[in-house]
Every structure is written in C-alpha cells, then in structure tokens.
Structure 1
C-alpha cells in the first residue's frame, strides 16, 4: 500500500508517521501542503504537530491548504484518511468529521502513555485490533478535548462511530472520554493519541500503535 503523509508548515510528527507506515509494511509517500496531486496514493495520513503555529484555531489554516482540497475530494470517494492529533483537528476544521477539539480542561499540555479502548474495529485503520481491545499509545496535546453538541454525540454513539475511548482518568476533558471518531462511511478516522509513537519496542510504550498502520493491507488481503 502507498500511504501519503502530508507535511504542513509546523508539522513535527510527519517523519514519525512515515516511519510507522514503513514499519507497518507500506510505502510512505511524502506529500507537501502545497501539492495539488496526491500522487495516486492508496490512503493519506495527516500527522500531528502545530500546523501554521496553531494560529486562529488548531488546523483552521491548514484546512485551506491546496492538498486538503484533494484530500477532501478523495475522502468523498472513499479514500482512507487518518488524522492524528493536529490531523484530527484539521479533519474537524475541514468538516470531514463533526465536532471540534478545544483546550484541555486542566489548561495544561498533556504528555503521557495513555490507555485506550478500541470501540470500532470496522474501519480501514482499526481492523487489526480486537473489538473492545485495550492498547497503550502516546498522548501529547494541549487542545485535545473533543466536544460536540448532544445530538452529534448521541449520533456518534448510536451509529458506532466512536473509534477509540480513553480508559481510566480522562486526560483532557474530552466529552464521553472520546479519543477518536470516524465519519459515516467509515473511511475517515480522527485520533487524538499518537499510534505512530508506539510501533517499536525500543522507543515508546511498546508496539500497540502498529495496528493502525497494518490494518489497511490486512483488509486488502482479506
């Protein structure tokens, strides 16, 4: 699988995401925010970081990058898209996902190994996990609290579109302990924690995040 990883000005986890893509057995394709061509990739990852310095709102400027015009159109055709941390914020700003990410309720930057439960393993990004399985991956954010109106939250719950949920103490005040969600079609996933930092035993809390980067190929083979 050829998976494109977009670099925006201020991205800082793009190289980590590319490495995770390769460790997961895929080809990593570097995409630039100014690109008008997705280079025929099979999927796209929007990585974490501080695109455009988080000015205005996190992800608000990146949403208008030329590459996002292509990503939005391709996602509408079913292209798998994964937004991690800042990438999740960009997906919400692009209206590919509902809701928003706001300042952590404790007003501090959070950086820890976080326990997460996989609530939906039917997406292209989570099929390698057991439904209800718990994993430990890295969480690092200042604006990681997921919020939406009650109707939206109820719809996400009722349609099984909560992909991942925090286990134990809520690290950022995210409503209903939501760590990740998907769109109605299931091809677009936003995740606040960082699976790309948990793909090797040498670095990070283990390899629990690797499933996000092996799931695509596993679905094709099945």
Structure 2
C-alpha cells in the first residue's frame, strides 16, 4: 500500500514514516502542499494530510484530490479543532479527522480501518480478489500470478465495484504518474480478462467498470 503524507513537522513525519514503513508500506512524504499536489497523480491508496503547511493547505489539497478521486481514503491531522475547520474538512471529502497531538497508534488504526479491506471481492466464474493482500484466487482457491500493474488495476476496480473508473484515473493509479495512453490501458485490461473472464470488466465510453453483485468475507 502506498501513502501520501503531507506534514511539515519533520520530527512527527519521520515517526509516522518509520511506523508505516516497518509495516511494509510505501510512504511519500511532502512538507509543501503544492509539491504534494503535483504528486497526487502517482497512484496512492491513502492520503494523510496536515492542514497548515506551506504553499497549499491540506484542506485545499484535499479538495483538489476529490475533484479527481472520490474514493481513496483521506485522513486530516491537525491541531486546529475549530468547528468550522472540522466541518470544512468533511465537506472537502475527508474520511476521518485526527486531532494533534495524537498517539501514533491512533493513526495506524485509522489507516488500517479505512485503507485496508480484508474482504474478498467475488468476481466471475468462482474467482475472487483479496484487497488487503492483493491476491487473486481461482475457483479452487489457488492464487493466480499477477504482475504489479495487474494488481494495481484489480485493486482500483475492486475498490469501486459497479462504478465506471475513467481512463485518466486508471492511468494515474496503475502507472503511478507515467504516461501510457489508451493502447497501454487496453492491453492491460485484455491481459487481466484473459486471466479471469471477459465479462467482469465492462467497457464504458471513457473508462472501465468492474461488474460484481456481492462481496465475500
């Protein structure tokens, strides 16, 4: 899992970064809001944002994120607990608000709760996908080998079942900031369909949609 951390307190950032990296997660740390803004196309699974940072506030960055990405969890961390600030954070699309100072364990629990889904998504013909482990299982419950980009694609689509994901979002999330174009996306979709079944990814005018009716445990 890949986290974008926006925090200008160096000591706190180092503690947060070390904690998540010990859990095997990738953390991209930014002290400046505008620098973080340019990086949001790199395909993140969770955003942890301080409000009062240089150049662009965490609240304004969150608004920019939500203009492009409605689903990736975002946690605001701030010492500002005025009602107006908290309300604006939720209006702009945050999933949770953590008041400073906090125990690092609190942040760890919130990320685990919001950003890790242990449920299996039932696909077609007996296939299922575990979001937490990013493992695809066939109808005999054997794991199916996937490339890194195939995992990224399945994770993205399984996070938003029955909702069309645009080509732009797929490119940003799967290729993590690289420009690939529609031919590369189509090629990846074709490879994943061949490993599972054609029907479970539906082609839309400007993107793709995972078709599923239920979620397993």
TM-score normalised by L of structure 2: 0.39
Greater relative CO, 1 or 2 (CA 8 Å, sep 6+): 1
Which is richer in helix?
2
Select the structure of larger CA radius of gyration.
Answer: 2
Which is richer in strand?
1
TM-score normalised by L of structure 1: 0.39
